[in-house]
Amino acid sequence: MYKKEIIEEIRKNKSDWENGELKKTLEKYPERKEKFTTGSGKEVERLYTPLDTENLDYSKDLGFPGSYPYTRGVQPTMYRGRFWTMRQYAGFATAEESNKRYKYLLEQGQTGLSVAFDLPTQIGYDSDHPLAQGEVGKVGVAVDSLQDMEILFDGIPLDKVSTSMTINAPAAILLAMYIAVAEKQGVSSDKLRGTIQNDILKEYIARGTYIFPPAPSMRLITNIFEFCSQKVPKWNTISISGYHIREAGSTAVQEVAFTLADGIAYVEAAIKAGLEVDEFAPRLSFFFNAHNDLLEEVAKFRAARRIWARLMKERFGAKKPKSMMLRFHTQTGGSTLTAQQPDNNIIRVTIQALAAVLGGTQSLHTNSRDEALALPSEDSVRIALRTQQIIAYESGVTETIDPLAGSYYVEALTNRIEKEAMEYIEKIDQLGGAPKAIEKGYIQKEIQDSAYNYQKEVESGKRIVVGVNKFKIEEEPPKDLLKVDPAVGELQEKKLKQLRETRDNIAVDNTLASLKKAAQTDENLMPYILDCVKAYATLGEICGVLREVFGEYKANVIL
């Protein structure tokens, strides 16, 4: 009776307010009669009350941080225990240049490394391959062999840092190189902490740096799951990525839905390969975007945690709490940055970083102000790192756990994102799962439609982008942009030539032959790849052998 009376009182007060104060406001400001939407275009009510949350007993329904279904966070103390890992995604030109940047960032207080690889590395070509011409070192660091990886982490103790590597199709090879470098430092693989992205499905959906067809690609991923569960137990074996899905133009709901649908596919593939869910699930991690709509982004993160917990428990029968926890890295939205008035990007990144922190991220990269124009300069990357540090040490938002819990709007939006994301996941299940939905072009088409609608809104002026379609100024282009020396390609070619002349080529040939033979069976390929790497076989040579066995993926054009 008590709850019913409260509901009636809230309903009456809300009705009185809407008919009284709201009416007066709208009469005074008629332009405010328009409908309001979130950054993803979801209509927003003018006022939220407990009625809109369908939830008055927060202590019962929301639970506590660190408790299933983890809506409020995966750790009971969250940032009262320790801050998120502060990362800056970095890599350019040569391993020598990138090594200098990593040491600079660590000196500035960064707590984890994030490696960006150049495009040839991402698609499995050495720097001297004809297709690599003009791309070496441009959007990341060129890593052709274990020699480059040794230089990249020279003077950086790998048992003291957590390293994230944004690499997908050749992820097994780069992970093997990292393990080999650690061994040379005297660090055993069971001490290594970090993450490889290793998410090939989103490459087919949104990014395009694939090499092999889906079936052998999924085999390599599950090989990594199995190998790391035994040899590298502290390593996050996959970072299931919604970031690139959002960058391609999806809404917040689609980002959650398509990312978790990919996650379901990886879990199913691992179980099919004979792994127990609680054996590999605790080392799954996720990678999300943070855009400008602060509260929608917070709700997105909360909804994603809750959906994943329920999927793992109810669909896959996970028993370990860690198997049900959605742990995620966040990067601020690259596609939201503007070349016009680039200093405005500092404010955008601050809002996005705050959303990630309020949403309970475990790791965060903040983009730099000049990234719509070039790779970030040292000054820009320092400001981006300081943004995280100011949020951590000065804003006060880390002093209590899940500070937005119980907000009528946030809880209503969390519920709504959960409901709409589950509708997408159910649709994908009906299509046969994420790989089939990708094959049929369903996910790509949904993203393309959302991207098109967004662009139409910007061009019509319905959606304001400050400095682009409103509040424009005359300005000179920035002069202090970072430029990669075009001679990098030539330098890498010389290093490769020298490597091939000085290494034990018989050993290289033998390890590559063993890898090819194993690839034609069902064996786990990680030990064979590790042998190739240690013999100084190059990335391109290893991928070349796998191309011979697996073939290459050719994308269907979705119209």
For residue 455, pLDDT over 90 is answered with: yes
DSSP H helical segments within 194-251, as ranges?
A: 201-202, 214-231, 243-247
Residue type, 392: A
Residue 304 confidence (pLDDT) = 98
Rounded CA-CA distance 423/455 in Å is 25
Q: Answer yes or no: are the C-beta atoms of 492 and 142 closer than 8 Å.
A: yes
Q: What is the mean pLDDT of residues 410-416?
A: 93
pLDDT band at 1 (very low <50, low <70, confident <90, very high): very low
What HEC string does 16-50 produce? HHHHCHHHHHHHHCHHHHCCEECCCCCEECCCCCH
pLDDT score for 56: 44
Distance CA 83, CA 398 (A): 8
Check pLDDT > 80 for residue 32. Answer: no
Secondary structure of residue 217 in the 3-state scheme: helix
Q: What mean pLDDT comes out for the span 103-129?
A: 95
**Choice among 3-17, 96-110, 509-523, 528-542 with the minimum mean pLDDT:** 3-17
Q: Say which amino acid occupies 37.
A: T
| % of the chain at pLDDT higher than 70 | 90
Interatomic CA distance for residues 98 and 42, integer angstroms: 41
pLDDT reading at 60 higher than 50: no
pLDDT confidence bin for 501, thresholds 50/70/90: very high
Return the closest-CA partner of residue 176 out of 139, 206, 219, 143: 143
User: Taking Cα atoms as reference points, which of 169, 273, 137, 153 lies closest to residue 542?
Assistant: 169
pTM, to two decimals: 0.89
The rounded percent of the chain whose pLDDT value lies above 90 is 81
189-228: burial string, b at 16+ Cβ within 10 Å, e else:
beebbbbbbbbbbbbbbbbebbbbebebbbbbbbbbbbbb
Instruction: Decide if pLDDT at 29 tops 60.
Output: no
Judged against a pLDDT cut of 70, whether residue 375 lies above it is answered with yes
pLDDT-derived band at 50, boundaries 50, 70, 90: low
In this predicted structure, the answer to whether residue 19 has a pLDDT above a threshold of 80 is no
Q: What is the DSSP letter of 400?
A: S
Residue 270 binned pLDDT confidence (cut-offs 50, 70, 90): very high
Each residue of 287-312: pLDDT tens digit?
Answer: 999 999 999 999 999 999 999 999 99
Q: What residues have CB less than 8 Å from 502, skipping those under 6 apart?
A: none
CB 332 within 8 A of CB 348: yes
- For the chain, the residue count is 559
**What is the average pLDDT across 307-325?**
98
Q: What is the pLDDT of residue 43?
A: 80
If one compares 555 and 531, the residue with the highest pLDDT of the two is: 531
Q: pLDDT by residue (tens digit) across 229-244?
A: 999 999 999 999 999 9
pLDDT at residue 539, rounded to an integer: 98
pLDDT of residue 52: 61
pLDDT at 549: 98
Rounded average pLDDT over 162-191: 97
Q: Which two tokens stand for residue 439?
A: 């094959």
Is it the case that residue 51 has pLDDT exceeding 90?
Answer: no
Sequence-distant (6+) residues with CB within 8 A of 18 are 46, 47
Per DSSP bridges, beta strands 85-90 and 43-44 are unpaired
pLDDT tens column, 177-222: 999 999 999 999 999 999 999 999 999 999 999 999 999 999 999 9
Mean pLDDT score of the chain:
92
* Residue 12 confidence (pLDDT): 66
Q: How far is CA 540 from CA 126, 211, 547, in A?
A: 5, 12, 10
3-state SS string over 307-335? HHHHHHHHHCCCCCHHHHCCCEEEEECHH
The C-alpha atoms of residue 161 and residue 159 are separated, in whole angstroms, by 6
Q: What is the pLDDT of residue 219?
A: 97
In degrees, rounded to 5, the angle at the alpha carbon of residue 360 between the alpha carbons of residues 358 and 361 is: 115
Residue found by looking up tokens 């990593």 in the block? 102
Average pLDDT over residues 331-360: 98
Distance in angstroms (rounded) separating the CA atoms of residues 349 and 383: 10
Cα gap 174→161, rounded to integer Å: 17
CB 161 within 8 A of CB 109: no
Q: List the CATH code of the domain at 78-460.
A: 3.20.20.240
CB of 329 closer than 8 Å to CB of 52: no
Query: Higher pLDDT residue, 332 or 31?
Result: 332
pLDDT at 335 over 70: yes
Model confidence at 57, pLDDT cuts 50, 70, 90, reads very low
Residue 58 or residue 477, greater confidence = 477
